[in-house]
Amino acid sequence: MTGVAEVYEPTERTTVNRYKTRANYDHVTIHGIIDSCPVLHVSFNPTSVDDDPFPTILPMIGCTGSYTSPNANETSAVSVYLHGHASSRFMKLPTVHSESDDTTYSNLPGTPVCIAATHMDGVVLALTPFNHSCNYRSAVVHGYASIVTDPAEKLYALRIMTDSLIPSRWDHCRVPPTPAELTATTVLRVEIIGASAKIRAGPPGNDRADLDDPAMRQRVWTGVVPSWVTWGTPVPAEENMVQTVPDYISEFVKGENEKGEGYATEITGKVLTSKK
């Protein structure tokens, strides 16, 4: 995309130091992991007021977006949108920070947050516990969270977050939100200032000394046990009046299941291919 870097420049904060070959900094990979993860983990330091040294993590729903060019594709998305009830501690934090006497926070362009998205793709069983591992796709993003005040951007963000649960759900709901609903909901835009992904997809690694021990190898099974998320049959609620499950929901279930099992098959394929 014109004018938008397609790779996050690694910084001291984001550089992957262990297993560098698993590291990845490109937009498509990082945004893809975030947007395919049903739940994000968001970390922040609760207040600037007291001296609480503990960060906190909240599991949240969110997705990447780019309001300045809403029709751009995933390579140019530069923010992560989050939302919550207006009265929640985290949603009020950008206001607390901007009004804080502590210039560490009030001088910043937003509340510093870290967002992690992780797909667990299976356990990797090696000969020795030391070499055990997991297959996974993980993205970690740092950015400044601010409250979205522009009503049009807020609507845009609510729409893409709703559709991140099930594509095109927004258009199949009672929309637009009422003024009361909009007042009760705060949307945060997290401007990404750095990000990295780490991916492991393959067979176990073993040490030479262990591979040279056939008696032990005949005793210890090694390989990969793949895992993925399965979506089940949609179950109608009591008040539901729509007779059959709409296509966009059935297609979501089918598509996600094919994607999940498909990726697991791709990985185990790599394990098998390593035999050649």
Rounded to the nearest whole angstrom, what is the least distance from the CB of residue 72 to a copy of itself in the complex? 23
By CB under 8 A, is residue 114 in contact with a copy of itself?
yes
Residue from 2, 21, 149, 218 touching a copy of itself (CB under 8 A): that is: 218
Residues numbered 80-99 forming contacts with a copy of itself, rule: CB under 8 A: 84-85, 87-89
- 266 alpha-carbon distance from chain centroid: 21
Number of Cβ within 10 Å of residue 86's Cβ equals: 14
Residues numbered 160-179 forming contacts with a copy of itself, rule: CB under 8 A: 162, 165-166, 169-170, 172-175, 177-178
Among 1-9, 22-30, 69-77, 121-129, which window interacts with a copy of itself (CB under 8 A)?
121-129
In order of 80, 109, 252, the CA distances from 143 in angstroms are 9, 10, 30
By CB under 8 A, is residue 130 in contact with a copy of itself?
yes
For residue 95, what are its two tokens? 């206001």
Answer yes or no: are the C-beta atoms of 138 and 37 closer than 8 Å. Answer: no
Taking the least distance from each CB to a copy of itself, the nearer of 3 and 50 is 50
By CB under 8 A, is residue 152 in contact with a copy of itself?
no
By CB under 8 A, is residue 184 in contact with a copy of itself?
yes
For residue 215, what are its two tokens? 């008696």
Answer yes or no: are the C-beta atoms of 157 and 81 closer than 8 Å. Answer: yes
Taking the least distance from each CB to a copy of itself, the nearer of 96 and 116 is 116
Rounded Cα distance between 115 and 98, Å, is: 21
Rounded to the nearest whole angstrom, what is the least distance from the CB of residue 1 to a copy of itself in the complex? 26
Rounded to the nearest whole angstrom, what is the least distance from the CB of residue 27 to a copy of itself in the complex? 20
By CB under 8 A, is residue 249 in contact with a copy of itself?
yes
**Identity at 87, one-letter amino acid code:** S
For residue 62, what are its two tokens? 């969110």
Paired residues of 24 in beta bridges: 197
Taking the least distance from each CB to a copy of itself, the nearer of 3 and 241 is 241
Rounded Cα distance between 86 and 186, Å, is: 5
Taking the least distance from each CB to a copy of itself, the nearer of 74 and 163 is 163
Residue from 30, 80, 157, 271 touching a copy of itself (CB under 8 A): that is: 271
By CB under 8 A, is residue 189 in contact with a copy of itself?
no
| Contacts with 28 (C-beta within 8 Å, 6 or more apart), sequence order | 6, 74, 75
